[in-house]
Homo-oligomer: A and B are copies of this chain.
Amino acid sequence: MNRQILVVEDEKPIREMITFVLEQNGFNTIEAEDYEDAKSKIVEPYPDLILLDWMLPGGTGVKLAKTLKQNEYTRSIPIIMLTARADEDDKVKGFDVGVDDYVTKPFSPKELIARIKAVIRRVSPTALEEAIEFHGMKLDPVAHRVSINERALDLGPTEFRLLHFFMTHTERVYSREQLLDNVWGTNVYVEDRTVDVHIRRLRKAIAGEGHEDFIQTVRGSGYRFSGKIKMSL
């Protein structure tokens, strides 16, 4: 359930609502508000899926889709169109340019997530269970194994889920509450500081190879998992 989704939507409230929902469901998001912005963000590493508003300023939504689907390198990125109009013609046009699915506004978060997962599953049935690698750390969700430079780690269930989350959500700060929501699950009552303890345990578990610095404390905000280790000055 990893990877990045680019949300192209000009209306900020809607865009933020969407990204909120996505993040709640364990996806990483990138935002873009118009054609140019989107294009500048569709670079390597390419997003794993694009949510594209039909009604971009200047009606450039379809244009963008068409462009992407005609380009050799971006052709394979799945696109889900968002539209306010349940207009059949629009749908046809959308599918004509190779769009993978269609979601009509307003939509429920549940529906959106379901569609996204369906598309991802269709495009790459194994994407959700492929091993993740990050700077010499490898996490295999299927075998339920973690190794760091070929050395196997022994993690408890929670530590494993925490690391899994971090490895799929790198270079970004998460508050303790967000971590609780994502790793422990929503509607569980656990103290904020419990996160600290598990961070500590995880750090300890991966210590010895230099990678313990990957888990960074961002004072006042939370924690971040990053390959760019912070240098002392």
Contacts and interface: CB of A to CB of B under 8 A. Distances in A.
A109 interface: no
Nearest to A171: B143
Nearest to A71: B125
Contact of A44 (B44, B142, B157): B142
Interface stretch (A20-28, A84-92, A217-225): A217-225
Interface residues of A, number: 33
A177 B214 CA distance: 36
Nearest to A233: B154
A171 B131 CA distance: 13
Interface in A188-233: 218-221, 224, 226, 228, 230-231, 233
A173 interface: yes
A57 interface: no
A187 interface: no
Interface in A11-53: 39, 42-44
A110 interface: no
Given A44-B129, A67-B122, A142-B172, 6 more contacts: A71-B125, A73-B126, A143-B171, A143-B173, A144-B221, A157-B219
Interface of A: 39, 42-44, 67, 71, 73-74, 121-122, 125-126, 129, 142-144, 152, 154, 156-157, 171-173, 218-221, 224, 226, 228, 230-231, 233
